[in-house]
Structure 1
Amino acid sequence: MELDALVRQRIRGLRVARGWSLDDLAARCRLSPSTLSRIETGHRRIALDQLVSIARALGTTLDHLVGSGVDDDVVIRPHGDNVHGVTTWLLSREGPRHGVTVAKLRITCPVPDELRVHPGRDWFTVLSGTVVLRLGDRTILVQPGEAAEFSTMAPHAFGAHDGAAEILCILDPDGQRAHLGPARS
């Protein structure tokens, strides 16, 4: 799709997603509804000052509105990094988006004796195998298809039970530093 058509589609899509009529958006960006309609349908060229005003009214930036439609930023091809019996594949872009990091972990080591504490919350779901989760003096077995979410202020550690286990985890910035280390933050 050429960029001009993509920008027009984004304007209309954002307007509709907000539940706004042409009149609603026109009032917010100080254009006439007919001008806005012709912009959305491709019957009028978009002037830069109009585009800036439309982006501001839609609560977005000019960069987001006119950004390329190229898919290079869509597919993530993670590389496994094995440290102490845990292979980690980062499934989110460099630098956590919205404060979280998504990772897939393959755990082959048993739960360590030393429990760790850090600010925040951890969440994971078991894809295969069984994970032993130690929370303070509790030992919890988490099976495939189950998820665990807990405050990381509770002393905790996890490991594999009877063979390898794979999990998908979502970590806040504190969890990322604690579980993935500074080299991967």
Structure 2
Amino acid sequence: MPSSSSSPEEKIGALDGLLTLIGIVPARARFIGGAVASSLLSSLSLGLSFGMMGAAFLPTGPLIPFLMGSWVGHTFGLYHHYRQSRNDALTVARNFPSILAHAMWTEFGVIVPSDVVSATEERCHQHSGKVDKQIAQDIAKKNAAMMDQWIQLQGYKMVGFAILSVPQCAENIEEIQRQERNNLVQDHQEKFCPT
């Protein structure tokens, strides 16, 4: 008689298979799936909560409160997903401007001014300590807009292009972050764990 519980190795193997399957889904489809899941979860949660309160306290019953709660939940869920996506896009624009600019160009034909990209990259290097003082003074004199500021100044259309471009370059950004993390670990081991 087979046991109903599976070993931890089997569970991890099944999870790896699921993650591999999710990995082959196109980035834009994952983005849309996230928006749908966010709005569906909040819509259902608020709809059921409002419906139960309506059934308990209102003479109209649960239907109208459920519909109102679902509508409010759907709106809040989509707005939350938009704000999170916008913040992610602006963070990518601030930290990886050339990668996002290239993704915006290849996806939508949007050309980001080169002075905006270069000023943002120079400021990123300045904050990480990779730029000398002369370049830092030149950046301050130019007072060029950072890429995240430029995107916001262009309006909702450009913010939308940035949001939809981020999933296309997310894999490359994760690879860069993984390399940076490995370099930090290696530096730490060399400093504090000499062999």
The TM-score, its normalising length taken from structure 2, stands at 0.22
More helix by share: 2
The TM-score, its normalising length taken from structure 1, stands at 0.23
